[in-house]
Each structure stands twice: as C-alpha cells, then as structure tokens.
Structure 1
Amino acid sequence: MAIQWFPGHMNSTRNAIRERMKAGLDVVIELLDARLPGSSANPLLAQLTEGKPNLKLLNKQDLADPARTAQWLAHYNALPETRAIGLDASVPAPARALMSACRELAPLRGGMAKPLRVLICGIPNVGKSTLINTLMGKRATKTGDEPGITKVEQKLVLENDFYLFDTPGMLWPRISVPESGYKLAASGAIGRNAFNEEEVALELLDYLRQHYAGQVEARYKLDDVAGLGDEELLEAIGRKRGAMLGGGRVNLQKAAEIVVYEYRQSLLGRITLETPEEFARWQAAGAAIEAQRKDKRKKSRVEPDAEPD
C-alpha cells in the first residue's frame, strides 16, 4: 500500500516558500522527528530551497534512541553547509541554540543593515508549533503576518537582527519510499483517513521485533517476540490487552490502534525507526521504483506507429 497525503493547504505552503525564496532568505531550518530523521526530511523542501544553508533540528530527541540520534547528527553534520542539533522539552534555551547555529551558517549576515532571514519548516505533528510557542513566550515577538501570504506565514523577531518566518507543516505530493510512508503514518504526521491502521501497525511491529524486541516484550509481557510473525505478534498483543471479539477472536483493528497509540506516546521506550544506512537503502530502492513508474508513464503516452497504407 502506498501512503499519500497532500491536502490543499500544503500546496499553499509550497507556494509561500517559493515567495519567501524570491523575497530573500539566508538559512533554512528544517524540524525533523528524531525518531525518523530521514523519513521526516522533506525532499520537496530541499528542491524549493536548494543552495541555502540548512539547519536540521532533530526534535523529540528525548523519545528517540540516543545512540541512533548520535548517528543521525553525525550524518547531517557531515553534509556541506549543514548543521544539526538535537532538541527536546528539556533543552533550557532553544532560542539561543537555534540562533547560534544559524549565525554560524550565515556569518556575513547580522546587524540592522543586514538582518538574518530564516525560514523554519517541518512536516505535520513534528512539534514545530510547540517550539514556536516556546520561542515566542520566552524571546520572540510576533510582528504580524507577511503581506500577500497572510494565511500561511508568520514573521517572528527573535532579536533585532534575526527574523524567523514560520510556515505550516507540509508533506510532499508523492511519498516514493514505502518505508517512510509507514513510519510517517505511525508517527502521526499523516492524516488517519489516508492509511490502514492495521497495516501500519504490522509494519511497525515488523521493525520493532527485529530491533527493539526486548522493549516490546517488556511492555506487553510477552516472550520470544523476535520469533513471532507480524500478525502473530499483533494477535498476542490484542489478547494481552483484551482486544477480543466473539468466539475468542482477536479484534485486530483495536490491537493495531493500541500499538500505534503506545508507540506515539513513547510507552515502549526510546525508539528510532531508521538508521542513516537503512534510510539510504530504502531511498535508493524508492528512487528506482519511481524511475520505472515515470518511464512506464512516458512510454504509455507515445502514440503507436501508424499502420502502413
């Protein structure tokens, strides 16, 4: 199943980013989910803001596997014109960390004559609104909506020479990496009406039993999770939690809802659903499939040769 979700307001956000690029921009901040740092990075944003220094904020790092967060920070910090830092609710001064990193990325900007202009973006439900509210409550002042794009962009002033432009959460029109679609759905970034919860739960359990079997066993009081199939594991969880139908059958929909909810609430512990190496493999496979799809569409548009007279 291919998971896709791109409501109309996300197209408005895309247009707003294009307009902001035309108006002038120095640094792009992309807020990522530390539990899926590759899958929550928006390839459309990379296209729209190509050539601009980039700050990757791995948000919710307190919910993610710390060893894997370190791997992802190293991965992003090794990229040209890119900085990466981790954030969570316990970071006492997020504005200071954010501004310091941005100033390092654009050292020639600053001062009232050349204020630093920064765009902050992220997928839905990645915690951007919480971060913005924290910045506004402690350091930032809302100065009003930008002319012409009042419904999609907000301008904040963190310091006299530091302007932060906030845009609504945005995904991309076609998720070509199937693994990313499932992980985005599990994290809550995709609307519930766009995916089958049972299928997402099975994909999630398939990854967890391979990489976090001990945490699943501890949460649901099960044995030998790694030796179970995905559906067997979902049924076992349903029985443990009393998600039953008549005749001793497990209510798989209810069991799936339990698994997805408890993952989102971090009740299974600190989990990261991908490593940089895994995501690179999935991305390469997705690109190959996408290339085949485009080639097939291109061939289908070619008119057949005319028959000879």
Structure 2
Amino acid sequence: MNLNINWYPGHMKKTSDSIRENLKKVDLAFELVDARAPRATENPLLKELLGDKKRILIFNKADLADPETNKKWLAYYKENNIPAVELNSNTGKGIPELMKEVHKTMEEKRARDVDRGIISKQVRAMIIGVPNVGKSTLINSLAKKKSTKTGNTPGVTRTNQWIKVGEDLLLLDTPGVLWPKFESEELALHLAYIGSIKDEVLPKEDVALKLVEHLSDHYPDLLEKRFKIKIQGRPLETMEEIARKRGAIMRRSEIEYTRVTDIILDEFRKATIGRISLEEPNV
C-alpha cells in the first residue's frame, strides 16, 4: 500500500496562516500530541510556525496508551528539556500539573514585565495540534463547561475561538492542522489508526489490516483476549477470524470486510482492545 500522498485541504492552509498571524497575540502554545502516537502527531509544520515561542507539550489521551511506554516518553521529553505534561482531557486528570507548568514557564516573562512596570496575571495561550487529538475536549475540561464542539471526526473545529478560563488564563482554540505531505508510510498509518486522518482519505480496509498486523506483532495477547481468537499465519487470516467471531459474515459465509474493518478501528480507538502505544521514543 503506497501512502506517500499529498494532503493539504484549503482550510488547513488557512489554519496555518491564522496560527502564524495569531502567535504574536499569545504568550505560549499548548501543543497536544496523542500519547499513542506522539511522533506522528507532533506536527513538524507547527514547530516551524512556533519558532522561539514558548511551548508546553501536552501528552494527551494518556489513559488510552500503554502506561509503561508513557513513562518512556515522559522521560524522553525531560531528557530533551521539553516541558511536557501527561493528561487525560476527558477526566481532567493532569490539569493541575499543566497549570503548574504554565506558571513555571511564564516566570521569566512576568519578571521582565514587573521590571517594566507591567502587572498582569492573565496568560494567553494558543492550543494547537493535529486533528482529533483532543484540543476542544481539553478546553471544555479547563473551562469546566462546553465551550467548543467536540467529536471523533477530524476537522470539527473550523474557526479560532477565545475562551476564558478563570481569571488567569485565556485560550485561543485553533482547528487541527496536518502538513502537506506524509513522507513516512508508518506515520501516515499511525495517524489513520487514531483517526487524525479522515477514514475516506486512505483505503480503510487496508488501514485496518495493517493495524491487525501491528497488534499481532506488538500486542498479541490483547488482540487474542479481546476477540477470543488465535492469531493466524497472515494478518488477513487473523482479520477474517475476527470477522467470524463477531458475526461479520454475509450469505455463503463470505467475510463482510467493511463491517469487521469498522469493528477493529472502533475498538482500537476507544481502547476497548486495551491500552496500546504505536510508538516508542528514540533513546
């Protein structure tokens, strides 16, 4: 499967331009990555846009990823002097640690402001990340109300929104943005597995088959336990075994590939199969 594709819808180009324009209005950026695929979801385009702007990396959806791999990633960020916070934006776990990191990051700027006679407690932060990484859910959790639309479909947020969080924090939400071209098939697949690329963009059944192959290699026990199967010789045979166990069968005992594809991707994305990480840091 050749996934060296060009991908740059018009609204993503507009988002990139908007981020560049609005960076001068904020003190720092919250960049969200998906804990299951931190490398794939750390957009190189955003790094370029941010330049010297202070950044806190939010290791989101940590509850869906392998806890031992989470520890490795957080150690990697610490070793590389990248401010990072492990977070579950659905429950709010990790938000106190995020706010502590905000105050720590802003200490130097506040000291300069005081020297210039400027007294301001409010911090302006921009939330950035690829689609479906949990930006709107985090904002709603921080604001303790439904301030933005959320969903499992990439591209739900289409406009910039300012949201006030208490007296100290003002957030600028931005739509998810991808980069123009996926050079790595592996990273493109990881984005597809977690739903950061719309399912219509890549061959969905091929994506599910590749995911079965990955899980068979790295998390065989979880795959077998969840679907009550024994991993077969080839990924396609394993996928067909899952279909039979789940009743994804048409007349004449033919496999209903569309249905079993949806089952596999849905249960992976919801962590029903288990807590799974797709990537480990290069240490």
Decide: shared fold, TM above 0.5.
yes
The structure that has the greater radius of gyration is: 1
SS of the residue 1:193 aligns to = coil
Give 2:9's match in structure 1, choosing from 7, 11, 15. 7
Aligned position for 1:52? 53
Aligned position for 2:277? 272
CA-CA distance at 1:218 after TM superposition: 0.3
Identify unmatched segments of 5+ residues in structure 1.
141-150, 281-309
In 2, the alpha carbon distance for the partners of 1:92 and 1:78 equals 23
Give 1:185's match in structure 2, choosing from 189, 192, 198. 192
Contact 2:56 2:83 in 1 (8 A): yes
In 2, the alpha carbon distance for the partners of 1:79 and 1:93 equals 21
In 1, the alpha carbon distance for the partners of 2:228 and 2:6 equals 35
Give 1:218's match in structure 2, choosing from 206, 217, 225. 225
CA-CA distance at 1:7 after TM superposition: 2.4
In 2, the alpha carbon distance for the partners of 1:158 and 1:112 equals 19
In 2, the alpha carbon distance for the partners of 1:114 and 1:4 equals 43
SS of the residue 1:199 aligns to = helix
1:156 and 2:163 are equivalent in the alignment:
yes
Contact 1:68 1:272 in 2 (8 A): yes
Distance 1:34 1:4, change over 3 A: farther
Amino acid at match of 1:119: M
Aligned position for 2:115? none
Contact 2:136 2:173 in 1 (8 A): no
Distance 1:254 1:161, change over 3 A: closer
1:240 and 2:241 are equivalent in the alignment:
no
Contact 1:34 1:272 in 2 (8 A): yes
Amino acid at match of 1:262: E
SS of the residue 2:107 aligns to = coil
- Give the RMSD, CA atoms, in angstroms: 2.3
Aligned position for 2:183? 176
What is the 5 A alignment of 1:22-33? 23-33=24-34
Measured against aligned partners, the alpha-carbon deviations of 1:95-116 in whole angstroms (never above 9, x if no partner) come to x332221222232224744853
**Identical counterparts, % of pairs:** 37
What is the 5 A alignment of 1:1-309? 1-2=2-3, 4-21=6-23, 23-80=24-81, 82-88=82-88, 89-92=90-93, 94=95, 96-110=96-110, 112-113=119-120, 115-137=122-144, 152-223=159-230, 225=231, 228-277=233-282
In 1, the alpha carbon distance for the partners of 2:7 and 2:93 equals 35
Contact 1:112 1:160 in 2 (8 A): no
CA-CA distance at 1:201 after TM superposition: 0.7
Measured against aligned partners, the alpha-carbon deviations of 1:151-183 in whole angstroms (never above 9, x if no partner) come to 732223335453322211111121222111111
Measured against aligned partners, the alpha-carbon deviations of 1:183-225 in whole angstroms (never above 9, x if no partner) come to 11111111121011111011111110111000000011112x2
Contact 1:32 1:58 in 2 (8 A): yes
Moved more, 62-71 or 7-16: 7-16
What TM-score comes out, normalization by structure 1 length?
0.78
Distance 1:220 1:254, change over 3 A: same
